[in-house]
Amino acid sequence: MGGSVAMRHMEGQGRSRAPAFLPADFAPEPHGGLYQGLYKRLRGFILDGVWPAGTRLPSSRTLAADLKVSRNTAILAVEQLVADGWAESRSRSGVYVSAAQAPTPAPETGVKARASSDLPPFALQRPAADLFPAQIWKQLQARAWAEIEPQRLATTDAAGDPALREAIARLVCGPRGMRCHPDQIVVVPTATAAIDLIAGTLLRPGDTALVENPGRPAVRQSLVARGARLQPIRTDALPPARLACVASATRFPGGEALDREGRARLLGWARATNGCIIEDDRDADLWFDAPPPPPLAAENGERVLLVGSFNRILFPGLCVAFLVAPLPLVERLRAANAIAGGRASLASQLALREFIGDGHFARHLRRRRQAYQERREALIDCLGDLVDREHINTAGTYLAVHVGAGRARALADRLAAERLGGAAIDDFMIEGEAGADLLIGLGLSPEAILDEGPRLAAVIRSELSSAREQR
DSSP codes of every residue in 29-70: BTTTBHHHHHHHHHHHHHHTTSS-TTEEPPPHHHHHHHHT--
Q: Does domain 374-470 have CATH number 3.40.50.880?
A: no
- If you classify domain 131-362 with CATH, what class do you get? alpha beta
- Whole-angstrom distance, CA of residue 188 vs CA of residue 310: 11
The residues of the chain that CATH labels 3.90.1150.10 are 374-470
pLDDT score, position 314? 94
Quickly state the pLDDT bin for 435 (edges 50, 70, 90).
confident
CATH topology of domain 13-97: Arc Repressor Mutant, subunit A (1.10.10)
Largest CA distance in the chain: 83
Is the pTM above the cut of 0.85? no
Q: What is the pLDDT of residues 257-290, one digit of tens each?
A: 999 999 999 999 999 999 999 999 988 888 888 8
Q: Which residues, 6+ apart, have CB-to-CB distance to 87 below 8 Å?
A: 46, 57, 78, 81, 95, 96, 97, 98, 101
Burial of residue 254 (CB within 10 Å: 0-12, 13-18, 19+) is middle
Q: What is the pLDDT of residues 11-70, one digit of tens each?
A: 333 345 554 445 545 554 555 567 788 888 888 888 877 788 888 888 888 888 877 788
- List of E strands, 297-402: 304-309, 321-324, 398-402
Rg (CA), the chain: 28
Coil vs helix vs strand at 11: coil
Contact present, 56 and 94 (Cβ < 8 Å): yes
The residues of the chain that CATH labels 1.10.10.10 are 13-97
- Say how far residue 413 (Cα) sits from the centre of its chain: 24
The residues of the chain that CATH labels 3.40.640.10 are 131-362
Per the rule left: phi > 0, alpha: psi between -120 and 50, beta: everything else, 49 is left
Q: What is the rounded average pLDDT for all residues in the chain?
A: 86
Nearest Cα residue to 296 out of 285, 286, 307? 307
pLDDT score, position 390? 82
Q: How distant, in Å, are the alpha carbons of 283, 304, 376, 379, 387 from that of 439?
A: 16, 29, 12, 12, 12
Q: What is the pLDDT of residues 103-139, one digit of tens each?
A: 555 444 444 445 555 789 999 999 898 999 999 999 9
Range with the lowest mean pLDDT among 4-8, 113-117, 145-149, 374-378? Answer: 4-8
